[in-house]
Amino acid sequence: MVIDSQKMKSLAEATSREDVAGRSLWADARRRFFSNKAAMFGLVLLVFVTLFALFGNYIAQWSNEEIDFSVMGMVAEQGGPSIANGHYFGTDDLGRDLFARTVQGTQISLAVGIIGSAIAVVVGTIYGATAGYFGGRLDNFMMRAVDILLAIPYMFVLILLLVMYGRSITMLFVGVGLISWLEMSRIVRGQTLTLKGREYIEAARAIGVPAPVIIRRHILPNLIGVVTVFATLLVPNMILTESFISFLGLGVQEPMTSLGALISEGSGTISYGTLWQLAFPLLFFVLTLFGFFFVGDGLRDALDPKDR
Amino acid sequence: MSRPLIEARDVRVTFDIRRPSDLPWTPPAQLHAVNGVSFSLEPGQTLGIVGESGCGKSTLARALIRMLPASGQVIWEDGTDLLTLSPRQMLKYRSQIQMIFQDPLASLNPRMTVGDIIAEPLRTHRPGMSSKERKEKVRSVMERVGLLPNQINRYPHEFSGGQCQRIGIARALVVEPKLLICDEPVSALDVSIQAQVIGLLEELRRDLGLTIIFIAHDLSVVKHLSDEVMVLYLGRMMEKACSDELFADPRHPYTQALLSAVPIPDPKIEKTKQVIPLEGDLPSPMAPPKGCVFRTRCPKTQAVCETVPEDRLRGDHHTACHLADQGVEA
C-alpha cells in the first residue's frame, strides 16, 4: 500500500501544532465511577430520595400540619395508604398525612447529614492539613486536643446540650457539627503527613512557594479524594446519629419531624396494626443510607484504584 | 581567577536524634550527616559529588538551598552568606538556584498539568507576569528541553520517566537560574534514557552557561559531566580534585576502591581487572570511628589512622588521608 507522504506529513504537523487535551486523574476517576454499577444504583437512589424531599410537597394532597378529621380516631381502620383520600402513605396517629410528613422528615434528615458532613469537611480539612503540614509542637498540640474531644462520649454531650439549651434544630446542627470534624481532621492529618514527604512538595519548597500556597495548591487537591469518600460515608452516619437522638425523643421537635422521629412514632404504634406508619419512613431511611454507602464505596474505588 | 559563583566553607548538617526511650531532659544524640564540607565553584563549572548511599550527598544539596538547617558558610557570588538569610531574603536567591530531583514522576504533582507545574517557579518569582507571557515562556522552555509544547495541558502520568525528568528540568530552567543542583537526576532512569538526559544537561550547560552541582553514585556519569569531583564518605570529604586527575590518579584508598568497582564494558579488561573489595558495612553515622572514618574498612589502615587525617594538598588535589602522598600503589 502506498501512503501519500505529503498527507501524512501535514497530518503530523497538524497534530503537533494543536494543544493536546490532558486526561486528568479526575477524568479517570469519573469514568471509573460511572462504570461502577453499584455506585450508579446508589446514585439513582440518592437522586430519587432528593427529588422526593425537594418536590414531594407538590404531589402531596395534604400539608404536613393538617389533621384529617375524617380518619381521626379510626386511624387503624381508615388511615391506611390509599389513593382515593389522598393519603398515599396513610396517616399518622393524629390523622396527619404521612406522605407529607415523610417528605418533611427526609428533608430534615438529609439536611442534618449534609450540613454535619459539610462542617466536617471544612473544619476537619483545614485543621488536619494545618496540623499535618506544620508538624512538630503545633501538630502535637492540635491532635492531642482532638484526642481529648474524641474521648468525651459525644452522645452524652449531645443529649446534655439538647436538654440544656432546648430541643431545637439549630442545636442539633451545632451538636452534630461539633463532633463530626474530629475524625475527619485525623484522617486528613494522616494523609497530609504522607503527602508532605512526597518529592513534589519538596520541589515546591525548594522553589520557594510559601506554605499556605503549598497547602492550597499541592496538598488540598491531593486530599480531595480521601475527603470526598469520607464525607460521603459520613452523611449516613450523621443521619443515623440524628435518627437515634430523635428516636430517643430528644431530636427535632413537633411540628418538625425527621425520619428518626417518624420511625420512633411508627414503632410505638406497631401493635395497633398500623404497620405503614413504620414502613414508609423506614423505607426512605434505608434507601438514603444505601444510596450514600453505595456512592461512597464507588467513590473510594474510583478515586483510589490502588487501594482495592 | 574569577569570583566563585558559590563557595561552601565548612558546611555541617547535624540532626538531633531522640530515641523513644529518652526522657524529655536527656540531650538528644547527634548525627553528623554532613561534616565540614568545603568547595568553591566558578561560573560555568560542574561539580560532581559521589559517594555511597547515606553518605550525605543529598543532605548537602538540601543544606545549600536551606531546606535543612546547616552551620558553616555558603557564600554566593555577591558575597552574601546564604545560611544567615531570613526565609524572605532567601527567596531572592531561590530563583537563582534550582534543583532537579531523583524520582522524576514523584517530583511532579499528579493533579497539575505540565504547564502549571513548569509555570510554578514563574508564579512564585515573577508575580507580575501576565498569564499569556507565562504560557509563552513555558512553551519555549518545553521546546528547549525537548518536549512538544502542545503537550502543555497533559498530566505527569501521561509521560514516560525520561519525559518527566525533562519536565523537571524545564521547571528548574524556567526562571533562568545560575546554579542547577541535580540530585541523582538519572539514577531512576533506564540507561538509554540516562544518556539522553545527560546529553540534554550538557547541551543546556553549554548553551546557557549553567553552573551545575551534580550528585550521583554512578562514577562514569560523573566523569562524563564534571570538571571537579568530590568524594564523600560518612558526611566527610575524602577526596576532591579536578575530574581528569581524580579518575587518572585517585589518591584516597576509598576512591581507589570505588573506581576499581566500576565495570568496564570490555569483557577482556573486565576479567583481568583487579577489584579492591571493601569489607564490612558502613559504620553507623551516630557513632563514627575515631580518627579517619574510613579506617574500619580501609584495606591499608595503619595505627596512625586513629588520629584525624590531615588534608593532603597537592595542587588542587585534596585528599583526606595520611597515605596520600607516600606513593602507595593501589
Give residue-wise pLDDT tens across range A88-111.
787 777 778 888 888 888 988 888
Cross-chain residue pair A24–B113, CB shorter than 8 Å = yes
Domains, chain B, in order of start with CATH, read 6-96+177-320 (3.40.50.300), 111-173 (no CATH)
Residues of A with CB under 8 A from a CB of B: 16-26, 198-200, 202-209, 213, 217-218, 221-222
Give the per-residue pLDDT at A308.
42
Cross-chain residue pair B110–A222, CB shorter than 8 Å = yes
Give the per-residue pLDDT at A128.
92
Cross-chain residue pair A25–B153, CB shorter than 8 Å = no
CA distances from B25 to B18, B22, B30 (A): 11, 8, 15
Give the per-residue pLDDT at A47.
93
In sequence order, what are the residues at sequence separation of 6 or more whose Cβ sits closer than 8 angstroms to the Cβ of residue B63? Answer: B11, B13, B34, B69, B70, B74
A33: in domain: no
For B108, the closest of A26, A200, A213 (CB atoms) is A200
A13-55 tens-digit pLDDT: 666 667 777 778 788 888 888 888 888 999 999 999 999 888 8
For A207, the closest of B108, B121, B152 (CB atoms) is B121
- Rounded average pLDDT over A114-127: 89
The tally of CA atoms less than 13 A away on the side-chain side of residue A17 is 6
| Residue-range definition of the domain harbouring residue A90 | 45-307
Cross-chain residue pair B99–A206, CB shorter than 8 Å = yes
CB count in 10 Å sphere of residue A160: 11
A206-210, A212-216, A268-272, B214-218: segment of lowest average pLDDT = A268-272
What letter does residue A137 receive in the DSSP assignment?
A: H
For B153, the closest of A21, A198, A218 (CB atoms) is A21
Report chain A residues whose CB lies below 8 A from the CB of B153.
Answer: 19-22
DSSP string over A18-59: SPPBP--HHHHHHHHHHT-HHHHHHHHHHHHHHHHHHHHHHH
Report chain A residues whose CB lies below 8 A from the CB of B171.
Answer: 203, 207
A29: in domain: no
Report chain A residues whose CB lies below 8 A from the CB of B121.
Answer: 207-208
Dmax (CA) of chain B: 68
User: Quick one: B141 exposed, middle or buried, by C-beta within 10 A (0-12, 13-18, 19+)?
Assistant: buried
Cross-chain residue pair A23–B67, CB shorter than 8 Å = no
Give the per-residue pLDDT at B2.
67
d(CA A155, CA B26): 42
For B94, the closest of A18, A200, A207 (CB atoms) is A207
Report chain A residues whose CB lies below 8 A from the CB of B99.
Answer: 203, 206
B70-129 tens-digit pLDDT: 888 899 988 888 888 888 888 888 889 999 998 888 899 888 899 999 999 999 898 888
d(CA A66, CA A131): 52
Q: Is the pLDDT of residue B28 over 50?
A: yes
Give the per-residue pLDDT at B214.
92
- Number of structural domains found in chain A: 1
For B124, the closest of A202, A209, A222 (CB atoms) is A209
3-state secondary structure of A254: coil
A252: in domain: yes
A216-268 tens-digit pLDDT: 899 888 888 888 888 888 888 888 888 888 878 777 777 788 888 888 888 88
A135: in domain: yes
Q: Would you say A256 and A169 are in contact if contact means Cβ atoms under 8 Å apart?
A: yes
CA distances from B179 to A292, A293, B205, B212 (A): 53, 53, 10, 6
Which residue has better confidence, A169 or A193?
A193
A258: in domain: yes
Residues of B with CB under 8 A from a CB of A: 65, 67, 90-91, 94-95, 98-99, 101-103, 106-114, 120-121, 124-125, 148, 150-155, 157-158, 168, 171
Nearest CA in chain B to A26: B111
Cross-chain residue pair A203–B99, CB shorter than 8 Å = yes
Q: Is the pLDDT of residue B329 over 50?
A: no
A217: in domain: yes
Report chain B residues whose CB lies below 8 A from the CB of A26.
Answer: 111
Give the per-residue pLDDT at A2.
57
Q: How far is B110 from chain A (nearest CA, A)?
A: 8
Give the per-residue pLDDT at A42.
92
User: What are the grid coordinates assigned to A22, written together?
Assistant: 490532558
Q: What is chain B's Cα-based Rg?
A: 21
Angle subtended at Cα B206 by Cα B205 and Cα B210, rounded to the nearest 5 degrees: 35
Rounded-to-10 torsion of CA B85, B90, B93, B99:
110
d(CA A250, CA A260): 11
When the pLDDT of each residue in chain B is averaged and rounded to a whole number, the result is 86
In the beta sheet, which residues pair with residue B98?
B180
- Rounded average pLDDT over A185-193: 91
Q: Is the pLDDT of residue B330 over 70?
A: no
Long-range contact pairs involving B136-144 (C-beta distance under 8 Å, separation at least 24)? B137/B174, B138/B170, B138/B174, B141/B170, B141/B173, B141/B174, B142/B114, B142/B118, B142/B170, B144/B170, B144/B173, B144/B204
Nearest CA in chain A to B174: A207
Nearest to B317 by CA among B242, B256, B213: B242
pLDDT over 70 for what percent of chain A? 93
User: What are the grid coordinates assigned to B157, written together?
Assistant: 502520568
For A208, the closest of B110, B124, B153 (CB atoms) is B124
Report chain B residues whose CB lies below 8 A from the CB of A304.
Answer: none
CATH at residue A234: 1.10.3720.10
Report chain B residues whose CB lies below 8 A from the CB of A25.
Answer: 110-111, 155, 157
B173-228 tens-digit pLDDT: 999 899 999 988 888 888 888 888 889 999 999 888 899 999 988 888 888 889 99
Nearest CA in chain A to B122: A207
- Rounded average pLDDT over A142-161: 87
d(CA B275, CA B105): 36
A78: in domain: yes
Cross-chain residue pair A22–B155, CB shorter than 8 Å = yes
- Rounded average pLDDT over A109-125: 88
Q: Write down the number of H helices and E strands in chain A.
A: 14, 0
Cross-chain residue pair B107–A206, CB shorter than 8 Å = no
Q: What is chain A's Cα-based Rg?
A: 26
The residue written with cell numbers 415523610 in the block is: A102
Q: Would you say B283 and B233 are in contact if contact means Cβ atoms under 8 Å apart?
A: no
Rounded-to-10 torsion of CA A258, A259, A260, A261:
50
Q: Are strands B211-215 and B46-50 parallel, antiparallel or unpaired?
A: parallel
- Rounded average pLDDT over A186-202: 89
Residue ranges of alpha helices (H) inside A120-258 are: 125-134, 136-151, 154-164, 169-196, 199-207, 211-214, 220-247
A165: in domain: yes
What letter does residue A96 receive in the DSSP assignment?
A: B
